[in-house]
Amino acid sequence: MAGPDDTKVEEHAKIDRKSAWKQLWRLFKYTGPYAGRLSIALGALLFTVSVGLAVPWFFGDLLATAVDASMADAAKLNESTLVLVSLFAFQGVFVFIRHYLMSWVGERVVADLRMEIHAHLLRMTQRYFHANRTGELLSRQSDDATRLQSIIGQDLSLALRNILSLIGGIGFLFYVSPGLTGRVLLVVPPLVIIANLWGRIIRRLARQAQDQLAKASGRLQEGLSAVDTVQSFTREEFEGARYGEAIDKAFKLFVKQIRARSWFMSVSSFLAFCAVAGIFWLGGHMVLDGTMDKDDLFRFVLYTLQVAGSVGGLAGVIGSFNQGLGSAARLFEILDSEPEIADSPGAQALSQPKGRLSFDGVTFGYDDRDTEVIKDLDLVIEPGEVCALVGSSGSGKTTLSRLVLRMWDPQAGAVRYDGQDLRELTLSSLRGSIAEVSQDPVLFSGSIRENIRYGRLDASDAELESAARDANAHDFILEFPEGYDTIVGERGVKLSGGQRQRVAIARAILRDPTVLILDEATSALDSESEHMVQAALERLQQGRTTLVIAHRLSTIRDADRIVVLDHGQVVEQGKHPELMAKGGAYAKLVARQASLEPGGDGDGEGESQAEAD
């Protein structure tokens, strides 16, 4: 019984002929900026085809002269041979021009397409990446794009050459012997029918194979990105077997595709060369009957071989085209996916932001959940205020920060920045005034300098080092032999947790945001690292609207206001002493956390005493 993934593959595999031609035309539109190079390449192609069509005519003379001793003419033989060699020399030059320029255009188009897909993916929303695994998207951008290079760089050239050779060859055949040519062309309708039927099969199999390969790539990326977890659970063999199973499924689909292409080329070549055998038989009888000259027979046979070769070449190109169209469909599927979060028409840039945030009747729920995470929530955070969000897991703390960054839009109500609905602001100006420091900050695999400068690309080295000092990162950076040029590794694996955190804080300081979001920024650190990071965060918060999301309540007791969330609603808010005095939800959270800490007695005094110390 087919699973949901198999059904999805079948649905994706249904590419009708009209859609295939549409995708092919869309793909070749990318050659527009390079029309000059393409025109020169096509001119060279026309010349090489013309030479190729002239060759059988001269060979016909040569063969007739060589076979019939009574007509032997050494001067004519030498002259014809010299003409052929000259033609071949010119043809070689133009073959180089055609191949080089067509291949250049193919590589350039693929590079443009990859950059466009990458830029498009960077604009896609969180929902899109929740629904599509990163490994599958990477497979499309790399493997599928590579397959398209052969269509534009090689297959287009081969297809045009074979089509022109086919048309020209048939024209010469009609010129030499119209009656014999009519009989030869009887093989064309069966070839057209076969090409149409097999083309649909190859396109479907190509799409299925690429989809399965993308799934395998997704599993590979998932396993490698969590290799520490795989190894700690000793699941190396399990992951290897899981990836092997996915690759084996892809291999079997590719074999089906290869089998279909092989049958197509085999049958079409058989029919084409059967026509050649028929020519020998029919033409030979016509020479014996005196209705055809010997040199015309040689020319006819050579042109028939050329036409048969063109038909066989087209069979291979059509198979490659069909395979490439499956890849094109997958790439265009990405480009046709519109981001749900984008600048609305007439969106205005945020000018001179003050940092006032307000949630007006906000309701929000994720697509994959039946319940609403935020329910009719009203909250105002004033400019420069440090507002801490606390609550049990799933209460909506992080979701609010995602809404502020407009990674999602609420289903009801509005999130406002300085009184303006976020949907009326440009994304670049909104997010440009916000910086975030999370529990597990992402660092890129370059140097420490590059990671800090990510906050503001035009910052000078002096500004960068000043930000590092404010983040308590300058001293430990200088301890490295390479200093600021130290490579941090993928996701910053060569740095400790506290060092990564301080580099991320330096990046946020360099950005100089109006609004700061701190999402569990110290919860995973040891006491010494937490002290260093906390001191850096306090400097970073000065004069900025700060949204603090924290599980460790000891880190937010000095916040201007603490907001307690429960099931997406505000149940309490105020300063730490006020909320403790109330003995409500916040006091219970403090008491529960204190009871779980060493020396805690469960009544909340442990927390207060620890903080007093």
What per-residue confidence (pLDDT) applies to 383? 93
**Residues 222-229: what's their mean pLDDT?**
67
To the nearest 10 degrees (0 to 180), the angle between helices 497-511 and 527-541 is 0
What per-residue confidence (pLDDT) applies to 256? 83
CATH of domain 15-335: 1.20.1560.10
For 513, the 3-state DSSP assignment is: coil
Q: Can you say whether the dihedral through the CA atoms of 388, 392, 395, 399 is positive or negative? A: positive
What per-residue confidence (pLDDT) applies to 277? 74
Determine the number of helices (DSSP H) and then strands (DSSP E) in the chain.
Answer: 23, 10
φ/ψ of 138, rounded to 5, equals -65, -40
Residue 375 has pLDDT above 50, yes or no: yes
What per-residue confidence (pLDDT) applies to 362? 93
Residue pointed to by tokens 């429960």: 566
**Residues 534-561: what's their mean pLDDT?**
82
φ/ψ of 414, rounded to 5, equals -150, 145
**Separation between Cα atoms, residue 440 and residue 443, nearest integer Å:** 9
Residue 266 has pLDDT above 90, yes or no: no
φ/ψ of 154, rounded to 5, equals -125, -50
What per-residue confidence (pLDDT) applies to 330? 77
Q: What is the DSSP letter of 60?
A: H
| Average pLDDT along the chain | 79
Residue 304 has pLDDT above 50, yes or no: yes
**Separation between Cα atoms, residue 257 and residue 206, nearest integer Å:** 6
> Out of 56-70, 224-238, 293-307, 384-398, which region has the weakest mean confidence (pLDDT)?
56-70
Residue 246 has pLDDT above 70, yes or no: yes
Q: Which residues contact 202 (CB under 8 A, 6 or more apart)?
A: 257, 260, 261, 264, 319, 322, 323
Taking the whole predicted model, whether its pTM rises above 0.95 is answered as: no
For 83, how many CA atoms within 13 A lie in the half-sphere containing its CB?
16
Asked if 349 and 425 touch (Cβ cutoff 8 Å), the reply is yes
Torsion of CA 299, 303, 309, 311, to 10 degrees: -160
What per-residue confidence (pLDDT) applies to 64? 61
What per-residue confidence (pLDDT) applies to 360? 94
pLDDT bucket at 88, cuts 50 / 70 / 90? confident
> Out of 71-80, 275-284, 446-455, 525-534, which region has the weakest mean confidence (pLDDT)?
71-80
pLDDT bucket at 400, cuts 50 / 70 / 90? very high
What per-residue confidence (pLDDT) applies to 148? 78
Residue 502 has pLDDT above 50, yes or no: yes
Residue 378 has pLDDT above 90, yes or no: yes
> Out of 15-29, 138-152, 153-167, 346-360, which region has the weakest mean confidence (pLDDT)?
15-29
For 510, the 3-state DSSP assignment is: helix
pLDDT bucket at 228, cuts 50 / 70 / 90? low
**Separation between Cα atoms, residue 530 and residue 550, nearest integer Å:** 13
Asked if 573 and 557 touch (Cβ cutoff 8 Å), the reply is no
**Residues 208-216: what's their mean pLDDT?**
77
pLDDT bucket at 131, cuts 50 / 70 / 90? confident
**Separation between Cα atoms, residue 510 and residue 473, nearest integer Å:** 13
For 88, the 3-state DSSP assignment is: helix
**In the numeric block, which tokens belong to residue 315?**
């069979």
CB atoms inside a 10 Å sphere around CB 418:
17
Residue type, 594: A
What per-residue confidence (pLDDT) applies to 213? 77
Q: How many residues does the chain have?
A: 613
**Separation between Cα atoms, residue 266 and residue 282, nearest integer Å:** 24
Residue 484 has pLDDT above 70, yes or no: yes
Residue 380 has pLDDT above 90, yes or no: yes
> Out of 196-205, 366-375, 582-591, which region has the weakest mean confidence (pLDDT)?
196-205
What per-residue confidence (pLDDT) applies to 70? 46
**Separation between Cα atoms, residue 126 and residue 341, nearest integer Å:** 9
Q: What is the DSSP letter of 600?
A: -
Higher per-residue confidence, 318 vs 559: 559
Give the rounded percent of residues in the chain with a pLDDT score beyond 70: 82
pLDDT per residue over 558-605, tens digit each?
889 999 998 889 999 999 899 898 888 888 888 887 776 555 444 443
The answer for 274, left when phi > 0, alpha when psi is -120 to 50, beta otherwise, is alpha
Asked if 137 and 121 touch (Cβ cutoff 8 Å), the reply is yes
Residue pointed to by tokens 């990318």: 30
Bridge-partner residues for 358, per DSSP?
380, 416
What per-residue confidence (pLDDT) applies to 61? 62
